[in-house]
Amino acid sequence: MGLVKADGKPAATSKPSPRKYTRDLTGLLAELNDQQPKARRWAARDLVAYGEEAVGALCERLRTEPEPSVREALFDALLAIGGDAVVEGLIPLLRGEDAGLRNGAVEVLGQLPEAVGPRMEVLLADPNPDVRLFGLDILRDLPHPEAPRWLMGVLEQDPHVNVVTVALDRLAEVGTPEMTPAVRAVKDRFPDEPFVAFAVDTALDRILGGE
Amino acid sequence: MRRALIVDDAVTVRLYHRKILEEAGFQVEEAENGVEALEKALVTPYDLLLVDVNMPKMDGYTLLREVRSTPELEGVPAIMISTESEKHDREHAYRVGANLYLVKPVRPEAFRLLAALMARNGESR
């Protein structure tokens, strides 16, 4: 039976254990590197309150975080913070070898149209075709009025067959009939590539079928 | 008739691969991402999986790891097909359980032949 104090409430048998970390920015940044995934998850969530001040640490943690649930919390925190610092922190992840990180970055960036918009032309002109493809993946979800113009630019200029066919796939969703001459012209740029011919015909069907 | 599941987030790619596989005599179904593919594969016995790498919700590498660690699915032949042609991409694919790694875009004739060679014979199960 537990001890009962004179006022009838149970007496504490020991002092509460002191918090391992303070609940300020310094403490939460330390907790973000705790050995326990649960602690790292909570730190990520609580760091949202510190906005841009926490972005660098959250992005840095993403690069080494092995636990999927913590990664998810880190991405959720970055999405909740949003803004230029998050976009600048996530774009370098697109160049990494970790598909999960790249796709997580794409999903967050696709929900930040105001901050991503001014950087899209740079992404779509990157020397690395894989980065240009991730730019197009971001565009898939990005509600931005400039999207059709960016996609037309890819159709007209990009030299890589996979980049162009993904742009055709995206343009099929947002394109309008006046864009069809530019879509047809893609076949002339890749005359020996059957996938391009198929992608052009499919895009035309989808654009004109949506009239 | 042999059944194939195409897993890719791009409609155009799914339609292109569907056309080629149907010409090779496959019955084809589609999934937009790894999560949807896993759900379908658990209820339908496929003879071949055709898996893209970069997809929302669950990427192709994670999907193949899940497939290879699920007793009912571990033996399904899987072709990973990606835009990425670096050596480490190929190595990663084989490490997680791909039986073959192809780089997009595929040539229809070669792809028909490879798919037919890789697939299980649906009638033997």
Q: What's the complex ipTM?
A: 0.88
pLDDT at position A2 is: 42
The closest of B105, B58, B9 to A99, measured between CA atoms, is B58
Record: fold of A145-211: Leucine-rich Repeat Variant (1.25.10)
DSSP class of residue B50?
A: E
What is the sign of the dihedral through the CA atoms of A171, A173, A178 and A180?
positive
DSSP class of residue B46? -
Q: What is the arithmetic mean of pLDDT over A49-63?
A: 96
Cβ-Cβ contacts under 8 Å for A42 (sequence gap 6 or more): A31
For chain A, the domains span 145-211
Structure tokens at A135: 């730019």
Name which of B13, B56, B105 is nearest A193 (Cβ-Cβ): B105
How would you list the strands of the sheet with B48-51, edge to edge?
B27-31, B3-7, B48-51, B78-82, B100-103
Query: How does pLDDT run across B13-23, given as a tens digit for each residue?
Result: 999 999 999 99
* A71 close to A99: Cβ distance less than 8 angstroms: no
Length of chain B measured in residues = 125
- Between A and B, how many residue pairs show a Cβ–Cβ distance under 8 A? 66
Per residue in A1-35, pLDDT tens?
344 444 444 444 444 445 678 888 999 999 999 99
Residues of chain B with Cβ-Cβ distance to A198 below 8 Å are 12, 15-16, 19
Q: Give me the residues paired with residue B6 across strands.
A: B30, B50
